[in-house]
Amino acid sequence: MGDGLEKVLVTEEQIKARNAELAAEIDADYAGKDLLLVGVLKGAVMVMADLARELHHPCEMDWMAVSSYGAGTTSSGVVRILKDLDTDIKDRNVLIVEDVIDSGLTLSWLVGNLKSRGPASVEICTMVRKPLAFDVDLDVKYIGFDLPNEFIVGYGLDYAEKYRNLPFIGTLAPHMYQG
Ligand code: PRP
Ligand code: MN
Ligand code: MG
């Protein structure tokens, strides 16, 4: 493949179908309940937009920006809030929407942070989970795809801020990130 990509792991069609399935589960689970989707900028923009449009349940959407990676390829373990929620989540049902859980460090920290604000519930929906996430104590209710530990990009996932706009998820060719 051109553009520094190696192969497609999840096609646009597979992502669309999975979003519809996840939305149906979420519709059923939140029937009769209030729902606030919290997207984690910037990676979650694509899944938030697509998943929200598959939902029939009324929901609100808010956004947080946190930083754990910088421009590199490995987690620093340091999480900072770059943009906080506009919404008071006390007594709200919060569903965090993410593009990927890799080390799980970002979400472990974020779940703890949000739970300290007194919400009725906090759950997680991620389009991709990678195997390292099994090492952290994180309850992920909605998972699009469990993928192997390769360097993946697309559908919100970036390498140095690029490739987010690919409509599919693919692997980056090793020469892109090896010296
Ligand atoms: C990426 C990704 C998740 C997080 C997962 O975000 O979108 O938010 O890292 O990694 P972890 O499970 O190892 O913590 P990043 O910090 O790169 O910001 P971005 O969403 O703006 O790309
Ligand atoms: Mn992110
Ligand atoms: Mg990133």
Pocket of ligand 1 (CB under 6 A): 40-43, 67-69, 75, 98-106, 158
What average pLDDT does range 52-80 have in this prediction? 82
Given a cut of 90, is residue 78 above it in pLDDT? no
Residue 2: pLDDT band with limits 50, 70, 90: low
- Taking only the tens place, the pLDDT of each residue in 97-111 is 999 999 999 999 999
91 is a catalytic site residue: no
| The 152-153 sheet, strands edge to edge | 5-10, 169-172, 152-153
The confidence score (pLDDT) of residue 72 equals: 56
Atom of ligand 1 nearest to the CA of 68: 16
Please say whether the dihedral angle defined by the alpha carbons of residues 105, 45, 52 and 80, taken in this order, is positive or negative.
positive
Given a cut of 90, is residue 86 above it in pLDDT? yes
Report the CATH fold assignment for 12-150. Answer: Rossmann fold (3.40.50)
- Taking only the tens place, the pLDDT of each residue in 68-77 is 755 555 565 6
The confidence score (pLDDT) of residue 69 equals: 56
Q: What residues does each domain of the chain span?
A: 12-150
